[in-house]
Amino acid sequence: MKFFDRLGRGWDLGIKSLEVIGAHPKLLLFPVLSGLALFAVVLSFGGAFLGLAGFDPDALEAIFGRMEQMGEVVFWLITFVFYLVTYFVIVFFNVALVHNVRLIFAGEEPSIRAGISFSAQRAHQLLAWAAVAATVGLILKALEDRFGSFVSSILGFAWSMATYFVVPTLAAEDVDPIEALKRSSQTIRQRWGEAVGAGFSLGLMVLAGIVISIISGVVFGMIIHPGIGVLVGFLTFLLTLIVNGAARNVFLTAAYEHTQGNTPDGFDAETLDGIFMKK
């Protein structure tokens, strides 16, 4: 099957994912909570440095100077901790969302509390996976610093493909992160193509959202006030990211369930198979 045929089927599956969100809008709360938590993490790290400096710019510069004198070890250690926390936050709420999507596919009612409780029960596994992802993230950054972005981009793409089904695997199976990675990469090897076709289709939805954001911002800016236009455009773009994040996890869950022989209602098995390109 040609790429554009798979792309079209990926678009159809993206629409199906949006329909699931439309029927259960509370799913959007998970990317919202994830974004707020990430914002708090960034503020915490920034606040920690400002607090150490006593909110004095000169003292803050001195702190960074001492860090440079202590060498790259401190820099990489702080970067690893930052990656670890951010990856944990992301995977925590993504697993909570996927758990709720699986509840929907099973005919049950989704619950924010149930999703967070589920992720909390598997927090040790999620933290272990965050540590693996943070380590790989540091390696990719080091390679980018040494060899440029081309090499790190190629390896980053390979890593993203291998880890495509890690989150739904962690949500569906009580396995350690290494086993989840093995199962995810095995699924991709056996059914190569889905991540490319559907993932690109969801990216097109983000692009459409950006266009809508620009148009809405310009219209409101001309009719009401430029400041209102900027605010409307920003909020529209933010909503696009939230919806796309939720839709991507709905699709991932549906695709994962299909690979396990449990095609969810509302998702056509032939359409799912059509965006796979078997080796």
Tens of pLDDT, residue by residue, the chain (279 residues): 555 666 666 677 888 888 999 999 999 999 999 999 999 988 887 765 555 545 455 555 555 555 555 556 777 788 888 999 999 999 999 999 999 999 999 999 999 999 999 999 999 999 999 999 999 998 998 888 787 788 888 888 889 888 989 999 999 998 999 999 999 988 877 765 555 555 555 666 777 778 888 888 888 888 888 888 888 888 888 888 899 889 989 988 998 898 888 888 888 777 776 665 554
Count of beta carbons in the 10 Å neighbourhood of residue 78: 14
pLDDT, residue 111, reads: 93
- Rounded to two decimals, the pTM is 0.83
Please report whether residue 227 resides in a domain. Answer: yes
Domain count, the chain: 1
The two tokens of residue 69 are 């004198």
Residues 6+ apart with CB under 8 A from 264: 105, 253, 254, 257, 258
Q: Cβ(274)–Cβ(197) under 8 Å?
A: no
Q: Evaluate whether residue 120 is within a structural domain.
A: yes
Question: What gap in Å lies between CA 196 and CA 158, rounded to an integer?
Answer: 12
Neighbours of 201 (CB within 10 A): 21
DSSP sequence for 12-70: HHHHHHHHHHHH-GGGGHHHHHHHHHHHHHHHHHHHHHHHHTTT-HHHHHHHHHHHHHT
* Residue 30 domain-assigned (yes or no): yes
Per the structure block, which two tokens stand in for 277? 């390109």
Torsion-angle region of 107 (φ positive above 0: left; ψ -120 to 50: alpha; else: beta): left
Q: Is residue 125 part of a domain?
A: yes
Nearest to 271 by CA among 13, 3, 4, 2: 13
Q: Residue 279: inside a domain, yes or no?
A: no
Is 256 a member of any domain? yes
Question: Is the alpha carbon torsion for 261, 27, 177, 83 positive or negative?
Answer: positive
Residue 41 lies in a domain: yes
Both structure tokens of 53: 């400096």
Domain membership of residue 265 as a residue range: 3-274
Tell me 260's DSSP state: T
89 within some domain: yes
